[in-house]
Amino acid sequence: KPSPGLVLDWLGQHPDVDGSLSVVVGDSSVDLELARSVATITGNCASIQIGDKDIGPRADAVFGSLWDFAVAVELGTEELNQ
């Protein structure tokens, strides 16, 4: 990381997946840099930081724990299904 090669290879093998809807979840500045690298190529990629310490590049969203992120995803899914 942060070279987006593996992500882009995977997207190339799955043309039915819209790369601009990618999300990178991580807890380091390298993870956030990966999200930015993918976004540069695909047009967009959300960066989600786990943990509230200042790790450098600003993330699109920050959650205190992976559990907090999972709960937010579940709540969002429930709203979409209503």
Chunked mean pLDDT (size 10), the chain, 82 residues: 86 95 94 94 96 87 96 92 86
Q: How far apart are the C-alpha atoms of 61 and 23, rounded to whole Å?
A: 11
Q: How far apart are the C-alpha atoms of 21 and 51, rounded to whole Å?
A: 23
What pLDDT does residue 1 have?
57
Give the up-direction half-sphere exposure of residue 38: CA atoms within 13 A in the CB hemisphere: 29
